Amino acid sequence: MTKHVIHTSERKNFKDCRQLWEFHSPNRMALDPIRVNRNLRFGTAIHAGLEVWYDPAMWEGDRYAVQAMSLLAFVKAYPYDGIEGDVEQMDAWEADLVLGKGMLEGYFKWALEHDTFTPISVEQEFEVELPLEDASYAGRLDLLVRDQHGDYWILDHKTAARLEDESFLVLDQQITSYCWAMQHVLNIPIAGFIYNELRKDVPHPPELLKNGRLSQNKNQNTTYELYLDKINELGQSVNSYAGILEHLQSQGNKFFRRTYVQRSPRELEIAGEMILLEATDMLSNPSIYPNPGKHCTWCDFRSPCLARMDGSDTNWILESNYVKKGD
């Protein structure tokens, strides 16, 4: 009998849209788009850079040397795969490289002051047997760390155009399920998870006006540190910029954020119960239907889903734009 391995992403797809799940699940049609979403590839490349930065084997080494290797890992993980001569695609790819390197360089500088934990493992895969016939729950976590108090946390990297609403982070069940799974795999208590957010943007020095003064526009894409550095570089008075400096300092860092969310043993126990209920539904030949919503905006299966909803033949779309996983 075929073993059903249920992954964390599959749980989300199943709850977001049964039609998406049907197309993408390894336990169903197992389709992947031929052309990978550029935003997804960018996030994967950022993860590749962070994997090197947090490699436990290099944690005690020269952090500036590790930074250079991390940036190289990002570039290698984001090769150009478009059509040669397509100027628009090449420009977008080159802009992504500049953005990604800028994000990582800024993050590494920030992390040197905020990494108060010790990495234990990176990109660790896990699989937990479920009390169902030939079924297990599997996934891969970005980083397992131990803090200065000896507690273990699962850290998850997120790249997005804006920092997430913190009220959502507390409700996120995907990372909670990682905590549940790793307790089973490692047989150690997991205190909770850490959201490590990197905003897809790079701060810039403050604007220099024609009169030689710095702009005090509060909507500038800058930071307190950059603004202060520019004042000192120009040899101007810090007191004359007190208002904008106070504003920037009160805002805190708008580009990187780390949020700790604790999980009690009972919460993790309930998370395991939820995983079992969802797995039971998935493996019971459920009805398949679309569930339109915000997730449709970035869905890789938007075209065949729309075709199925208007009664069109989806076979040509699927055969032309998707491949079986592993092919």
- Count other C-beta atoms under 10 Å from residue 235's C-beta: 6
Rounded to an integer, the average pLDDT of 119-127 is 95
Classify residue 277 by burial, with Cβ atoms within 10 Å: 0-12, 13-18, 19+: exposed
Q: Which amino acid appears at position 139 of this protein?
A: G
What's the DSSP call for residue 213?
A: P
How many domains is the chain partitioned into structurally?
A: 2
pLDDT tens-digit readout, 223-240: 898 899 999 999 999 999
In a domain, 302, yes or no: no
Q: What percent of the chain has pLDDT over 70?
A: 98
In a domain, 113, yes or no: no
Q: Which residues contact 240 (CB under 8 A, 6 or more apart)?
A: none
Same domain, 221 and 138: no
Q: What pLDDT, on a 0 to 100 scale, did the predictor assign at position 35?
A: 80
Quickly state the pLDDT bin for 1 (edges 50, 70, 90): low
Question: What three-state secondary structure class fits 108?
Answer: helix
Burial 125-136 (b: 16+ CB within 10 A, else e): ebebebeeeebb
311, pLDDT greater than 80: yes
Beta bridge partners of 155: 143, 194
Q: What pLDDT, on a 0 to 100 scale, did the predictor assign at position 323?
A: 94
244, pLDDT greater than 60: yes
- Count other C-beta atoms under 10 Å from residue 79's C-beta: 9
Same domain, 170 and 235: no
CA distance 127 to 225: 44
In a domain, 84, yes or no: no
| pTM of the predicted model as reported, rounded to 2 decimal places | 0.87
Same domain, 164 and 260: yes
In a domain, 284, yes or no: no
For residue 289, CA distances in Å to 12, 89, 217, 223, 316 come to 15, 35, 50, 47, 20
In a domain, 68, yes or no: no
pLDDT tens-digit readout, 181-194: 999 999 999 999 99
Question: Which domain range does residue 186 map to?
Answer: 121-199+256-273
In a domain, 17, yes or no: no
Q: Which residues contact 67 (CB under 8 A, 6 or more apart)?
A: 53, 104, 105, 108
pLDDT tens-digit readout, 55-107: 999 999 999 999 999 999 999 999 887 767 777 888 889 999 999 999 999 99
Q: What pLDDT, on a 0 to 100 scale, did the predictor assign at position 100?
A: 97
Same domain, 154 and 183: yes
Q: What pLDDT, on a 0 to 100 scale, did the predictor assign at position 170?
A: 78
pLDDT tens-digit readout, 2-30: 689 999 889 999 999 999 999 999 999 99
Same domain, 261 and 250: no
What is the rounded average pLDDT for all residues in the chain?
91
Same domain, 219 and 138: no
Burial 237-267 (b: 16+ CB within 10 A, else e): eeeebeebbeebeeeebebbbbeebebeeee
Whole-number CA gyration radius for the chain = 23
What's the DSSP call for residue 293?
A: S
